[in-house]
Structure 1
Amino acid sequence: MGVWLPAAPCTPGACVEPAVPAAAVPRAVLRLTAVAVLVLAGIVLAPLGGRIPAEWVRQWSRTIVRAMGVRVRITGTAAPAGGVLLVANHVSWLDIPLLAAVRPARMLAKTEIRQWPVAGALVARGGALFIERDRLRALPGTVARIAGALRDGAAVVAFPEGSTWCGRAHGRFHRAVFQAALDAGVPVQPVRLRYLRDGEQAASTAAAFVGEDTLFASLWRVARTRGLVAEVDVRPVIPPGAHPDRRSLARAAQPVNPEPAWTHAALVTPSPAFPVTMSPRGSVRA
C-alpha cells in the first residue's frame, strides 16, 4: 500500500447503524431535495471564487448539513487567517461541509471525486487539490502543490487517515501531507469530528461512508436518521517550528487515539440486521 492508500477495516454491514427510528420517507425526500438545491446554487456561484464572503461560505456549508436534519455543534479555537493546514479524522461526506463551516478551504481529494454527480463539480470548482493515490512517483509533486497553496495564504483541508472510518474506530494520521506544512512554514490546526444520536454519548455510525457503501445509500441513510448531531471540535493551532519533522507533527495533530484494525470488531455494537464480520481490507475513501 502507498502513502495515499491506507486501508480501513470498516464496512457497511459490520459497522453502520440502520436509521432506526427512521424519519418518514416524505421528510427524507424533502431533505435531499433541499440539499440538492443548495449544492446546485453553490455550483452556480462557484466561479465567483474569492469574491464570495467567507462568512457566506461558512453559513452555506452549515446550512447543507442542517438541511439533512443534522444538528451542528462547533466548539474550540477559531481557525487563523493566512495559510493553514486543517487536518481531521474522516467519517463521512458530511465532513467536507462541516470543515468548510469552520473555515472555507481548498480540499485535498482523490481524483475519483471528480466523477461524483453534482458534488464532484462543486469540489472541482472550489479549488480542490486532486491527488492520484496509486502513483507513488506523484507524491513529491503533490506535496509541492499543497505547499505552494499554503504559501499563497490558502487554507487546505486534508484527511490524513486516507480512508473513512466508522467513527467508533480511527486510523493513524499518515505523514506525507504534513511535509507540505513544514515546507511552507505554516501552522497546522487539528479538528475532531464526531457524530452522535441526540441524547447519547457514544459515537453513532449512521453518518459513516465506508467500504462498499454507495454515495446515494449514505445520503438516504443520513436523511432518514432522526436526532443526528455533528460535533466539530477545533483544536488549538500547532505553530510552525513546534515539531522538527513530519512524523512528530502527525502524531501531535492526531485528534483521536487510533485503534488497531484487529480490535475494531470490539468497538462495534452488533445488531441482528448488521452482524459483525471482519474484512482484511476496506475500500478507500478520501
Structure 2
Amino acid sequence: MSVWLPGAPCTPRACVERTTSTASVPRAVLRFVAVVVVVLAGVVVSPLGTRIPAGVIRRWSRAVVRAAGIRVRVTGAPAPGTGGLLLVANHISWLDIPLMATVRPARMLAKLEIRQWPVAGAVASPACLFIDRDRLRALPETVARIAGVLRSGQAVAVFPEGSTWCGRAQGHFRRAVFQAALDAGVPVQPVRIRYRYGSGAASTAPAYVGSDSLLTSLWRVTSARGLVAEVEVLPLLGPGGPADRKALAAAAGDLVLGARPVYPRGVPHESAALTNSR
C-alpha cells in the first residue's frame, strides 16, 4: 500500500455490476483490437513527446475512447489553451486519462509502476511525471517538480483522490498537489467524469478497481453496449481564490465530487487500508 496515496475499498466483485446489454462477441473483439491498434499508433509517435501538436493529441485521445465503443460528451467552458494549468478530476477508469486530454493535453502525474506496463508504459513515459508512492520523503520533491512544469507554461493533470473508485462511490481530494498550483501561481481546472449508458443510467462497467487487470477491464468496456463518457469542465479556480492548499483542495473537491466520501454497499471503509492504490 502507498504511504501517501490512499487505497479505495472498491473491488470488481462489490462494485462492478454485470452488464445487462452487451455487444456481440465479434463486435467486442473488433473494438478490443481497435483500441490496441490506436494505442500502438501512439507508441510509434510517443518519442516526439511535447513536439506533438495539441490537436493531434486530442484527436488520438478521443480515438482511444471511441475505439472502445464509447461516445464522448464534453460540456462546460474549455480549459485555457496556453499557460500553466493544474487539471484535477475524479478517478474511475484508465479511460479517464485520454478523456482528460480531450479537455487539454497535459503532463500526467502517474505512479511509477505504469512505466513498466507493456505498450501503455511506452506511450505514457514521455508524457508523464512519475511518482514513487512508497517514499513519503519524495512528496515535497514531487510537488516541486509539478510546480516547475506549471511555471514553464505547461498543463499537469492529476487525480487527487489518489486511487480509482467505481463511480458510485468516491473518495476525497488530497491536498498535496494543490500546493504546486499555489507555488506556481497558476489556476486549477476542475473536471468531473461520469460514465453512463445511453438511457442515462450510471454505469460502473468502465471502473478499473481493486484486483482488476488492464486486459479484464478493457474487455468489459469493449463488450458493453451504449456506454457514454461525460466530461464536464467546471468553473476555473484562479490564483486569486483559496489561499492555502487545504481550502483549494476543498473547493475543487466540492465542485467535482460534491459530497463526502461514499463507500460501496457491503464494503466497510476500514478495508481501504487493505486495498492497493491504483
TM-score interval (norm. to shorter): over 0.9
CA distance in 1, matches of 2:35, 2:6: 31
1:205 aligns with 2:204: yes
In the other structure, the counterpart of 1:92 is 93
Closer/same/farther in 2, CA of residues 3 and 251 from structure 1, 3 Å limit? farther
Matches within 5 A, 1:210-225: 210-225=209-224
C-alpha contact (below 8 Å) 2:188/2:237 kept by paired residues: yes
Secondary structure at the counterpart of residue 85 of structure 1? strand
CA distance in 2, matches of 1:61, 1:249: 28
Secondary structure at the counterpart of residue 42 of structure 1? helix
In the other structure, the counterpart of 1:194 is 194
CA distance in 2, matches of 1:258, 1:3: 25
Secondary structure at the counterpart of residue 165 of structure 2? coil
C-alpha contact (below 8 Å) 2:14/2:264 kept by paired residues: no
TM-align CA RMSD: 1.5
C-alpha contact (below 8 Å) 1:43/1:125 kept by paired residues: no
Tell me the CA shift for residue 149 of structure 1: 0.3
CA distance in 1, matches of 2:248, 2:8: 22
In the other structure, the counterpart of 1:129 is 129
Matches within 5 A, 1:87-126: 87-126=88-127
Aligned residues: 272
In the other structure, the counterpart of 1:241 is 240
Tell me the CA shift for residue 75 of structure 1: 0.5
Q: Deviations over 1:106-130 (max 9, x none)?
A: 000000111212111100022x000
C-alpha contact (below 8 Å) 2:2/2:276 kept by paired residues: no
Tell me the CA shift for residue 3 of structure 1: 6.4
Closer/same/farther in 2, CA of residues 240 and 3 from structure 1, 3 Å limit? farther
Tell me the CA shift for residue 278 of structure 1: 4.8
CA distance in 2, matches of 1:172, 1:277: 17
Q: In structure 2, give the amino acid aligned to 1:208.
A: A
In the other structure, the counterpart of 2:77 is 77
Tell me the CA shift for residue 43 of structure 1: 1.2
Q: In structure 2, give the amino acid aligned to 1:245.
A: D
Q: TM-score, normalised by structure 2?
A: 0.94
CA distance in 2, matches of 1:91, 1:3: 21
Q: In structure 2, give the amino acid aligned to 1:149.
A: V
CA distance in 1, matches of 2:87, 2:9: 25
CA distance in 2, matches of 1:151, 1:260: 32
In the other structure, the counterpart of 2:175 is 175
C-alpha contact (below 8 Å) 1:150/1:184 kept by paired residues: yes
Q: In structure 2, give the amino acid aligned to 1:50.
A: T
Moved more, 186-195 or 31-40: 31-40
C-alpha contact (below 8 Å) 2:3/2:135 kept by paired residues: no
C-alpha contact (below 8 Å) 1:3/1:174 kept by paired residues: no
Closer/same/farther in 2, CA of residues 213 and 258 from structure 1, 3 Å limit? farther
Moved more, 245-254 or 48-57: 48-57
C-alpha contact (below 8 Å) 1:171/1:258 kept by paired residues: no
Q: In structure 2, give the amino acid aligned to 1:112.
A: E
C-alpha contact (below 8 Å) 2:9/2:267 kept by paired residues: no
Closer/same/farther in 2, CA of residues 259 and 243 from structure 1, 3 Å limit? closer
Q: In structure 1, give the amino acid aligned to 2:215.
A: F
Tell me the CA shift for residue 133 of structure 1: 1.0
In the other structure, the counterpart of 1:20 is 20
CA distance in 1, matches of 2:63, 2:122: 19
Unaligned runs of 5+ in 1: 266-275
Tell me the CA shift for residue 277 of structure 1: 5.0
In the other structure, the counterpart of 2:165 is 165
Q: Deviations over 1:148-193 (max 9, x none)?
A: 0000011000000001000011110000000000000000000000
Q: TM-score, normalised by structure 1?
A: 0.91
